[in-house]
A and B are shown apart, each in its own frame.
Chain A
Amino acid sequence: MAMEFLRPATWDEALAAKAEHPGALPISGGTDVMVEINFDATRPEYLLDLTRIEELTDWSADGERLRIGAGVTYTSLIADLADRLPGLAMASRTVGSPQIRNRGTVAGNLGSASPAGDAHPPLLADDAVVEAHSARGVRHIPITEFYTGVKRNALEPDELIAAVLVPPADGPQQFAKIGTRNAMVISVTAFGLALHPSTGTVGAAFGSAAPTPRRATKAEQFLAAELTESGRWDSRAELDPAAVTRFGALVAEAATPIDDVRGTADYRTHALSVMARRTLVWAWTDYRRKRVRTCA
C-alpha cells in the first residue's frame, strides 16, 4: 500500500491535514515511528512530518509552568531545562543514545504512550499537562488522564500534541531505571519521584510495571502525610527508616506488572520498592542540604 508523505509548513496546515486524514501518523524525531515502518509493523496511509514547523522546537515559561514544544529534543531539554526540570532531565539522559536523544522528543514519548517510555514517570510525578490542538481548538489534558491503555492515549483522531506543560521543580526530584546496560535500554522498570515542599505533597510514578505508566497514589499520600505530621518538611530531620520501607512497599503495591522478555513481574515489583526507597533517600538528602539536585 502506498504511503503518502505530508509535509505541512505551518502548524495550521498540520492541524488541517490531521483533520482531513485522522489516520495520519505524526512523525517528528522518528525514533519510534521509523522502527515500526522499517520493520513493516505499521504502514499508515499518511505520514505527517512535523519537522518543518519551527515553532514546535521552542520552549517558554507559560505562567506557572514551562511549555515544552512538541519538537523539543531530549538533547535540548537536557541542555536548557535540567535546572528547572531535574527529574525529566535525568530521565531524558537515560533515553537511547546521543543519536536518539538528538532526534527523540517528550511529545513523541507521549504519542507512542508505551508503558516503558522514560519521560512518563517524571511527567506524572510533576503533574504535567498535555496541550493537544486540533482544527476545532485547544484541549489541556491532565497527565493522569492521558494514558488510557498499552500504547494508547487520550488524543482524539484529529488532535496533535502541541506541547507539554510542566511546573518547574519546587523541591528535589529523582529518577531511577533498571536496564541491562547504561545506554540503549528499554527500561525493565523505572521510577520517578518529585517532592513538593511548597504544597506539602509528593509525586511518585513508575513505568514498565502496569499497562500504562502509573502514579503510586497511596504511596504519595502516605509519604506526604508522614512528612507533614512529623514536621519534617520544616525540620528537614532524617527520615524514619520505617517510613522509607513503607513508602517502597506502597509503590510496589501499586504495580501490576507482567512477566516478559525484559524481566519477571516479581523482579519488577521488588525492583520498584528498592528504587522507591533509594530515590527517596537521595531526594531527602538533597532536601536536607537545602538544594535541588540537578544532575544524576
Chain B
Amino acid sequence: MKCTVNGQPQEIDDVWEGESLLYALRERMGLPGSKNACEQGECGSCTVYLDGTPVCACLVAAGQAADRDVVTVEGLAEDDELHPVQQAFLDAGAVQCGFCTPGLLVATHDLLEREPQPSDPEIREALAGNLCRCTGYEKILDAVRQAAATSAQSKAGPS
C-alpha cells in the first residue's frame, strides 16, 4: 500500500486492507504517536488528518488511505521545534499520563486552523470527541486558549 504520511511517501507490504489505518500506522510504519484505545471512535486518541480532515484512524480501513495524505501527531512539529499547540499543552500542564494528548493536539491544531480565536463553546465542541481521564479538561482548555493567543501574537509579528 502506498500513501503519504507526514509529507513522506510510504510504501508498505503485507497490509491487510481491512485492518485499520491506526494499526497500519502504529504496527507497520513505526508511528506509535496515534494511540489505540477504544477502536470504535469514542475516545479520539487516534485522531489524524486524512486529506486534511481530522478523523479517527481506527475507523479508516487501511485500504481507504491508499494514495491519500495522512498527517499524524508526529508530523506537527517542524524539525526539533514543537508546534505552538504542543508547546502550549506542555506549558499549561495539559498533559498528565499523555495517552489522549496526540489526539487532542491534532484536534486542537485543526480547530485553530479553522478558527484562530475560538470561543470556549467552540473549543468544547471541537474537542467533544477526545476523552481525557486525568486532567478534568480545565488545563486542556487553558492550553487551547494559550495556543490561540501565541499564534495571534506571532501573526502580529515580533514586537
Interface set of A (CB-CB < 8 Å, partner B): 3, 5, 7, 27, 29-31, 33-35, 37-39, 47, 49, 51, 96-100, 102-103, 182-184
Given known contacts A98-B107, A99-B44, is B64 in contact with A49 (CB within 8 Å)?
A: yes
The answer to whether B128 touches A184 (Cβ under 8 A) is yes
Bound complex: CA A49 to CA B61 (Å): 9
Bound complex: CA A47 to CA B20 (Å): 13
The answer to whether B18 touches A37 (Cβ under 8 A) is yes
Query: Which residues does chain A contribute within 8 Å of B55, judged by CB atoms?
Result: 99, 102-103
Bound complex: CA A38 to CA B61 (Å): 10
The answer to whether A98 touches B60 (Cβ under 8 A) is no
The answer to whether B40 touches A38 (Cβ under 8 A) is yes
Within 8 A of A (CB), among B1-47: 16-18, 20, 39-42, 44, 47
The answer to whether B129 touches A99 (Cβ under 8 A) is yes
Bound complex: CA A34 to CA B18 (Å): 8
Closest 10 CB pairs of A and B: A97-B129, A5-B17, A183-B128, A38-B39, A5-B63, A34-B59, A35-B40, A30-B59, A3-B18, A99-B129
* Extra 13 A-B pairs, beta carbons < 8 Å, given A38-B58, A103-B56: A3-B18, A5-B63, A29-B59, A30-B59, A34-B41, A34-B58, A35-B59, A38-B39, A47-B61, A49-B64, A99-B54, A99-B55, A99-B56
Interface size of B by CB at 8 A reads: 27
The answer to whether A30 touches B60 (Cβ under 8 A) is yes
Shortest distance between the CB of A238 and any CB in chain B (Å): 32
Q: Is B135 an interface residue (CB 8 A)?
A: no
Query: Which residues does chain A contribute within 8 Å of B41, judged by CB atoms?
Result: 31, 34-35, 96-97, 99-100
Interface set of B (CB-CB < 8 Å, partner A): 16-18, 20, 39-42, 44, 47, 53-56, 58-61, 63-64, 66, 107, 125-126, 128-130
Nearest residue (CB) in A for B68 is A51
Bound complex: CA A47 to CA B44 (Å): 24
Bound complex: CA A37 to CA B56 (Å): 15
Which residue of B16, B20, B44, B47 is within 8 Å of A34 (Cβ)? B20
Bound complex: CA A217 to CA B37 (Å): 43
The answer to whether A97 touches B59 (Cβ under 8 A) is no
Query: Which residues does chain A contribute within 8 Å of B128, judged by CB atoms?
Result: 97-98, 182-184
The answer to whether B17 touches A100 (Cβ under 8 A) is no
Which of A31, A97, A183 has the most chain B CB atoms closer than 10 A to its own CB?
Answer: A97
**What are 5 A-B interface contacts by the 8 Å CB criterion?**
A5-B63, A29-B59, A47-B61, A49-B64, A103-B56
